[in-house]
Amino acid sequence: MSLKAVKLWLGACGLLALGTLTSVEAQDFNEQQVARGKYLVAVIGCGDCHTSGYFFGKPDMAHALGGSDVGFEIPQLGVFVAPNLTPDAQTGLGDWTKEEIVAPLQTGKRPDGRELAPIMPWQDLANLTREDAMAIAAYLKTLPPIKNKVPGPFAAGTRPTVPVMKIVAP
């Protein structure tokens, strides 16, 4: 499908008017790949940690995947808040390429070299096929951007500014 055809289709769907896809993403847009990514994000449960309100039993689906409002405290490591996975350029994955989104899923490291919090199940996600990992990235790039800078991470001994779920060893 040509870029012009994709833009016409997206315009008809109202997606370009919402600004959810840039021309770069539109060039890479594949409806089946995005649908597969949406399915995988749902069955993997990404929204469980990355959506505010989830841990209070009232997920804010208007801001799905826009980042958590609860941190995970891991003894001697600190408190980690699940980040914004939407394509907001300032507070989310907006400046990340699809490759930069896939890399942490498969290696446990962000593009800036920082390791993901141990609570993130990247070791399991590393078993995704390359095609499935790219589908997740494609789906995340099509979400409406949500401006939400989550706090943290907080070093061990630092007082967090969010409610915390603490992991306690037996």
99 domain-assigned: yes
Question: Is 2 within a domain?
Answer: no
Domain of residue 65, residue span: 36-166
- Quote the tokens at residue 117: 């919090």
* Strands laid side by side in the 164-166 sheet: 154-155, 78-81, 71-74, 164-166
Q: Does residue 25 fall inside a structural domain?
A: no
10 in any annotated domain: no
Assigned token pair, 9:
């289709």
Q: For residue 90, is it within any domain?
A: yes
Q: What is the pLDDT of residue 28?
A: 55
In a domain, 9, yes or no: no
pLDDT of 27: 47
For residue 86, how many C-alpha atoms fall within 13 Å in the half-sphere facing its CB?
24
Tokens of 132: 């499935």
CA distance 91 to 145: 9
Q: Which residues contact 13 (CB under 8 A, 6 or more apart)?
A: none
pLDDT at 29: 61
Backbone angles phi, psi at 2, to 5 degrees: -75, 160
- DSSP for 64-132 reads TTSB-SSEEEETTTEEEEPPP-S--TTTSSTT--HHHHHHHHHHSB-TTSPBPPTTS-HHHHTTS-HHH
**Residue 162 within a domain:** yes
Question: For residue 120, which phi and psi values (nearest 5 degrees)?
Answer: -75, 120
Residue 27 resides in a domain: no
pLDDT by residue for the chain (170 residues), tens digit each?
A: 333 333 333 343 333 333 444 434 444 569 999 999 999 999 999 999 999 999 999 999 999 999 999 999 998 999 999 999 999 999 999 999 999 999 999 999 999 999 999 999 999 999 999 999 999 999 999 999 999 999 999 999 999 999 999 878 78
Number of domains composing the chain: 1
Give the per-residue pLDDT at 168.
81
